[in-house]
Chains A and B, each alone.
Chain A
Amino acid sequence: MHTQLGASGSAALGTAAGLKVLMRKGKLKNEKINVIAFCGDGGGADMGIGAISATLTHKDYNCLVLLYDNESYANTDIQLSSQTPYGAVTTFSPSGTKKRLMHTRWKKNVPGMLAAGHPESRYIAAGCAAYAVDLMNKIRKALELGGPTFVHTLDPCPKGWDYHPQYSQELGHLAVECGIWPLYEVIDRVCNLTGPTRQIAEGRKKRKPVYEYLKRQGRFAHFAEEDVEHFQHEVDKMWTEWLIPGVIPFTIAAKDQTILKIDKKPLHEQKTA
């Protein structure tokens, strides 16, 4: 069933709620039916983020929202979204003679935000179809764990990113290997880095420079050296400054490290200070 832009969260919720109540009242055969709502980065990360957020708090309903992120409103002729990377050319952010970069916002961290903000969602993940088995497992886990779940995939787009379609998988690999798109899953509030992202975090693999990724795409062809440097600097921060690399964009101040030693016993067992 096709739904409105921005309505994927509500579509998943309404469908799941309808099936649940009809089965409870005996109006429909009681069986497991997977409810999956697809959205793009425009419908999911921009317009529909509120509805997805609400859906992820309704823990009684089994549904998966799958955000297919090709980093632009591609259906309407490649306009920028909150998922378009810094500096990229789109039809809404052309590179001109006065302004080299029209789009200077950093990509919104959607799966990290949703994982941080929805502690009762049992499964939130970031994947990429270039790592097909990893993604397949993530979808399976989301549906198996149940409740409202969310998977965000990065999907290279030949037209919007301006490259030959034969390089789609390679670009997916590069996005992850350069550390721009980390792969992870948050299962019951435990974050698990997956694939090459895990290898990078564990020091078993070195991040590739972002230039390897940027130079392969026409949408970054106008980048000057300083733009590449800025991009690299921001990605470096994701790995050096974030609490969890590429996931949680803040950390604890050095002077507050004692916070990590907080008493984790239940309240009634804690000694008074």
Chain B
Amino acid sequence: MNLPHSLNPARILVVDDNEDDVHLLREAVLLAGLEAEWHHTSNGVECLRFLHKEEAYSLAPAPDLILLDLNMPVMDGREALEQIMEDESLRHLPVVVLTTSSSPHDIRNMYSLGARSYLVKPIDFGAFVVHLKVLFAYWFETVERPS
């Protein structure tokens, strides 16, 4: 797979407080073959600052895809998604939940709030890479994204 066309690398915003998970995600994204422009914030508040280009994020680009963790300090993924969806200027952004929680309540709740996909981080790293390949192939090769 050759993802995506090299002129515009996919801009991915990862919102996750777990450093290990972020590190592994980065490696997995590389192995999944996605040429990505990588951005990272570690909680909901930071994420919203990034999206609103506030303070240190004045030069932040609009992401093509947001990978949002659920359980984070300060502001968790549920509230972050809620605020994104309430904001006219942000609600078009595709948010994919990437979490350890497989609770049916969380899954239903996040889709209700407006998540575009919900991915449970698998324990097996190989499986994780495969899941990401499928996800990126869908978002960057199959469907049209909002510009």
Are A and B subunits of one complex? Answer: no
Which A residues contact B (CB, under 8 angstroms)? Answer: none
Which B residues contact A (CB, under 8 angstroms)? Answer: none
